[in-house]
Amino acid sequence: MLKINDLHANINGKEILKGINLEVKPGEVHAIMGPNGSGKSTLSAVLTGNPAYEVTRGSVEFYGKDLLALSPEDRSHEGLFLSFQYPVEIPGVSMVNFMRTAVNEQRKYRGLEPLSATDFLKLMREKREIVELDNKLASRSVNEGFSGGEKKRNEIFQMAMLEPRLSILDETDSGLDIDALRIVAGGVNKLKSEKNATIVITHYQRLLDYIAPDFVHVLYKGRIVKSGGPELALELEERGYDWIKKELGEI
Amino acid sequence: MNAVQQYIELYKSQKNLIDTHSSEVMNGLRDEAVALLESRGLPSLKDEEHRRTDIESIYAPDYGLNLGRIEIEVNPYEVFRCDVPNLSTLLYFVVNDSFYKSVQPAAAKLPDGVLVGSLREMSVKYPGLVSRYYGRIADMKRDGTVALNTAFAQDGFFLYVPDGMVLEKPIQLVNILQGNVDFMVNRRLLIVVGKGAQAKLLVCDHSDDAAVKFLSSQVCEIFVDDDAVFDYYDMEESSENTTKVASVFVRQGARSNVLVNGIVLHNGVTRSNYYTEFAGEHAELSLCGMAIVDKEQSVDTYTFIDHAVSHCHSNELFKYVLNDSARGSFAGRILVRHGAQKTEAYQSNKNLCASPLAKMYTKPQLEIYADDVKCSHGATVGQLDQNALFYMRSRGIPEAEARMLLMFAFTNDVIEQVRLDALKDRLRQLVEKRFRGELAKCSGCRACR
């Protein structure tokens, strides 16, 4: 579904991604780990089309389409989803209004009629339960006054509403206590199927105890320097990143 | 001939005609007004309080005035359909600057003692009552446009709510500008809300879309006595060829509660002055407003809140959204006088410049002479939040829609101040339409088409 080929990207003229290669197939879970500043969040921002980043080389194919040529909204319509590391507060825009607009724009893109108010609210109710999101939060402004845990649950709730083909979870575990982590990870697992895929960006093995990866990649200085199975995450947890730096001849 | 001189000469040559078609109470202030106008002139761009709107140029053209009160052939009740559903207001009209006489039967049934109608007529019928209030707070020395309005105003709207009367139904006044030559109107509003009384007034401005220029001058005096509650909503939905120069003066008695909300949805050039004064302790004022301007439109607001006595509370919130080459200005002065202890005065002016050519000037001005007060002010001029925009787009909301939602959200807290649910709903719809470009011109009344 996703083929990243030699991807280079800049922010403010500084090169952050220096040749990423990655292929993701339906049903797979990929974990991307790596030290701070290695480019993990940049990769998710570039894939979803954040205009602050400039792609200088390489290509990304998503179901055969040139992903980089699509606007952020069309990438979403094509089935790409990013759970933000820092979900944005939007005062004055209610969750209901926000989600209804998002869902109906997606339906429009796919040639479907907009959902009726009743069907929409029913859908909201169903999906809310997946992450145990309070009804009160759903009627408030987007992320405004939400706690850290509520914001992350809200991200997974939106993921449930939009049913993406590929989800990127950018440090979804950061700022979560154990209970919230279990709820969030449980939500992700409930949404998992043979047809969709997940890229999990994380610092810690902890999240991978709940969301079991098929592949683990180490991103370092803008490149994927090592790939392996789930055991690689355990090894990183135990040994840190120095041994990889050593392998690269840096230490 | 300079701008002021033509009005002074017009006044001198037409004094009889003006007086004949007005009332003694209104005529009583004219000579003083003209003398002030002659000695002080109109505000100029050099005046600190008028730096952003060129009043002299606005008044310079040779506008027509209907001093002979020639009736205009229009029945606003037939052509105007108020589309604020469920608001069920008592509806009145002022066409140009004449009160439209044939009042709807529904509106005629008012509780005993409540007076609503033509200012001219009411001041003939109740000269004692009207003269107690007319021209008492509209300070002509402060602003030449008020003096000019006082010199020429012949009619307008009068609302009197006696002590203790709670008027359940909101009153709606629709000002319609119509004409086929460049035209000037001088309209006068006088509102008196007695002790412990309650009322709500919604004033809507509409104008003809004809290819002529309108200059609409309005002076509104609002007296809210002790323990009274009054809401004043002023909604402008005029055309690009309309210039509005309006001054609202409010005097509040002890423990009174006043809400003033000025909303500009569509206009040409608008200058609004709000002067409010606390005359009794423990009174509350909420003064707010919003403007959505684009193209070459301009909105300039000046507010002056006078905390003359102690224990009063004022809350001020103005928000503008500017697009294209629109210009906005806000100057908010708050004066806390000696001895006005325990005053609370909060001011906030937030502006969104949605295009690189839009310009906003904002100036908070707090003068505090008491030492036990809580006051704050804040002014911001910013662009749309790029992070929020990207967040929404990443959820599949197209950029234009996301921008619209953000701009709508920005103005929402001013709409939230409205204490009339039906009007709140209607405003949300109108604002959304406005942002979608579906309100490219005045659409509120059929008289405009």
Distance, in Å, from the CA atom of A57 to the CA atom of B197, rounded to the nearest integer, reads 72
Q: Are strands B198-207 and B115-118 parallel, antiparallel or unpaired?
A: unpaired
% of residues, chain B, pLDDT over 70: 93
Strand partners, A166: A80, A197
The predicted structure's pLDDT at residue B445: 41
The predicted structure's pLDDT at residue A175: 82
Strand partners, A82: A168
For B361-389, what is each residue's pLDDT tens digit? 999 999 999 999 999 999 999 999 999 99
Give one DSSP letter per residue of B348-404, joined into a string: EEEEEE-STT-EEEEEEEEEE--SS-EEEEEEEEE---HHHHHHHHTTT--HHHHHH
CB A102, CB B395: distance < 8 Å: yes
The predicted structure's pLDDT at residue A205: 86
When CB atoms are compared, the residue of B394, B397, B410 closest to A92 is B410
Q: Which CATH class, in words, describes the domain spanning A2-247?
A: alpha beta
Measure B199 CA to nearest chain A CA, in Å.
29
- pLDDT higher for A157 or B97? A157
Lowest-confidence region among B3-7, B179-183, B329-333: B179-183
- Between the alpha carbon of residue B153 and those of residues B149, B220, B255, the distances in Å are 5, 12, 32
Q: In Å, how far from its chain's centre is CA A172?
A: 8
Structure tokens belonging to residue B117? 């109608």
Q: How many contacts does A have with B, using Cβ atoms within 8 A? A: 76
Contacting A residues, span 123-142, partner chain B, CB-CB under 8 Å: 141
Lowest-confidence region among A39-43, B121-125, B175-179, B256-260: B175-179
Distance, in Å, from the CA atom of B10 to the CA atom of B12, rounded to the nearest integer, reads 6
Q: Are strands B183-193 and B214-224 parallel, antiparallel or unpaired?
A: parallel
The predicted structure's pLDDT at residue B449: 34
A98 and B401 within 8 Å at the Cβ level: the answer is: no
- pLDDT higher for B337 or B105? B337
Residue B291 has pLDDT above 60, yes or no: yes
Residue of A44, A84, A98, A170 to mutate for B, most B C-beta atoms under 10 A: A98
CB B280, CB B256: distance < 8 Å: yes
CB B345, CB B366: distance < 8 Å: yes
The predicted structure's pLDDT at residue B89: 78
Average pLDDT over every residue of B100-119: 81
A162 and B393 within 8 Å at the Cβ level: the answer is: no
Strand partners, B262: B234, B289
The predicted structure's pLDDT at residue B78: 65
Average pLDDT over every residue of B423-438: 87
A73 and B393 within 8 Å at the Cβ level: the answer is: yes
Instruction: Provide φ and ψ at A243, rounded to 5°.
Output: -65, -30
Q: At what angle do helices B3-20 and B144-152 cross, to 10 degrees?
A: 30
Distance, in Å, from the CA atom of A35 to the CA atom of A192, rounded to the nearest integer, reads 27
For B230-279, what is each residue's pLDDT tens digit? 999 999 988 899 999 999 999 999 999 999 999 999 999 999 999 999 99
Residue B447 has pLDDT above 90, yes or no: no
The predicted structure's pLDDT at residue B110: 86
Q: Are strands A166-170 and A80-83 parallel, antiparallel or unpaired?
A: parallel
Give one DSSP letter per residue of A124-188, joined into a string: HHHHHHHTT--HHHHTSEETTT--HHHHHHHHHHHHHHH--SEEEEESTTTT--HHHHHHHHHHH
For B293-308, what is each residue's pLDDT tens digit? 999 999 999 999 999 9
Average pLDDT over every residue of B181-191: 95
Which residues in chain A land under pLDDT 50?
none
> pLDDT tier at B82 (50, 70, 90 boundaries)?
low
CB B240, CB B210: distance < 8 Å: no
Measure B167 CA to nearest chain A CA, in Å.
32
CB A40, CB A170: distance < 8 Å: yes
> Which positions in chain B touch A90 (Cβ < 8 Å)?
385, 388, 391-392, 406, 409
B393 and A71 within 8 Å at the Cβ level: the answer is: yes
Average pLDDT over every residue of B220-230: 98
How crowded is residue A238: how many other Cβ atoms within 10 Å of its Cβ?
9
Average pLDDT over every residue of B347-352: 97
- Between the alpha carbon of residue A32 and those of residues A1, A243, A248, B382, the distances in Å are 17, 17, 18, 37
Give the position of tokens 């009209």. Answer: B93
Average pLDDT over every residue of B221-227: 98
Which of A129-138, B124-133, B198-207, B423-432 tops mean pLDDT? Answer: B124-133
Angle among Cα B5, B248, B145 to the nearest 5 degrees reads: 5
Give the position of tokens 């402008």. Answer: B236
The predicted structure's pLDDT at residue B103: 67
Distance, in Å, from the CA atom of A18 to the CA atom of A6, rounded to the nearest integer, reads 8
Cβ-based interface (< 8 Å): residues of B facing A: 385-388, 390-399, 401, 405-406, 408-410, 412-413
Asked if A210 has any chain B CB less than 8 Å from its own CB, the reply is no
> pLDDT tier at B105 (50, 70, 90 boundaries)?
low
Measure B55 CA to nearest chain A CA, in Å.
36
What residues make up the domain containing B326? 3-448
Residue B131 has pLDDT above 90, yes or no: yes
Distance, in Å, from the CA atom of B442 to the CA atom of B157, rounded to the nearest integer, reads 22
Residue B440 has pLDDT above 50, yes or no: yes
CB B280, CB B254: distance < 8 Å: yes
| Nearest to A137, CA basis, from A182, A88, A180, A95 | A95
How many residues are present in chain A?
A: 251
Rg of chain B over Cα atoms, rounded to whole angstroms, equals 21
